[in-house]
Amino acid sequence: MSITHLLNAPWAVLPDRLPFIRDLLMHGGDDHATMRGPTRGPQASAAPARATPAASGSIAVLRLYGVLVPRASDFAEQFGLAGVQRFTQDFRAALADDSIGGILIDVDSPGGSVYGVMELANEIYQARSQKPIFAVANSLAASAAFWVASSASEFFVTTGGEVGSIGVADLHTDVSGALNKVGISMTLVSAGKYKTEGNSFGPLTGEARAAMQTRIDAYYGAFTRNVARNRNVDVSKVRNGMGEGRTLSAQAARSENMVDGVATLDEVVNRLARRIGQPSSGPVRASVAPPSGTRAAARQRLIERLSL
């Protein structure tokens, strides 16, 4: 998926982060460098190591850190992006591993693109019957990240953490005034009635705004229905409560039934350990995969065993 397409997509993210994210995508590099990263073959230089799923005994800890985008290379992850596709693959690997009795999703994310999030959330929700799946906002699970985390069997937030920002937004930028000041005139040539609708070289028309709103409303409907299902409440409770687009503190979120409890990461791990019949213990140790010259070799080290 190109950066240009992402820039025009709806976002389920903290609203104050949206302009920054768009600026990062626009100026952080071209499509190849940012979204796919350098080509790595057997003789290529190894990319920096990235944090991969770690296991404590029979508990797999999957980390969901940063702004969610459909795909992110190792390079992009160094700049705070998290690929939904890669996380989904990690989740499936943990789910399929018979030696893993439970999965913990460790979340610290302001949300991100809506693309791939609904599918991941549904996959996590449907996997509840196969293994216990816990999630913890450590310290932030906002918007798309809340969508994902709320799909777990049980969802917690740290004492100083925040969750929520249930909503979808998009941004239109009109640069025509700035271009006029420097004597630049843009001409768009297209075929298809709405092909250039909502472009940045002029004001947003009423018809284009209505189309954007329809698109946003559709994603918001899916978002709120999924959260209602995940938290076992009526959809009106999600739309008329749970912060109504705001992020809430741990205690406020607990009062709104957005989470199952307030706990540290270690406490959630111990709770999950008891659920699967393992003895509880001290802090979780997370492994970092060594640099690898090939994607296949990296995949072989997705889950490393660490004893409790």
Give residue-wise pLDDT tens across range 143-163. Answer: 999 999 999 999 999 999 999
The SS3 of residue 12 is strand
Residue of 125 and 32 predicted with greater confidence: 125
Helix ranges (H only) for the chain are: 3-7, 18-27, 31, 74-77, 84-96, 117-126, 144-149, 176-181, 206-231, 235-240, 250-255, 265-275, 295-300
Q: How far apart are CA 72 and CA 66, in angstroms?
A: 11
Tell me the CATH class for 3-32+50-306.
Answer: alpha beta
CA 228 to chain centre: 19
Enclosing H/E stretch for 81: strand 81-83
Q: What is the CA radius of gyration of the chain?
A: 21
What percent of the chain lies above the pLDDT cut of 90?
A: 63
Is pLDDT of 265 > 50? yes
Confidence of residue 20 (pLDDT cuts 50, 70, 90): low
Which string of DSSP letters, residue by residue, matches 63-75? EEESEEES---HH
- Please list, in sequence order, all residues whose beta carbon lies within 8 angstroms of the beta carbon of residue 179, skipping any fewer than 6 positions away: 185, 186, 201
What was the pLDDT predicted at 113? 92
Asked if the model's pLDDT at residue 282 lies above 60, the reply is: no
| Interval 75-107: pLDDT, tens | 677 668 899 999 999 999 999 998 899 999 999
Strand partners, 288: 51
Q: Which amino acid is at 107?
A: V
**What average pLDDT does the segment 251-259 reach?**
98
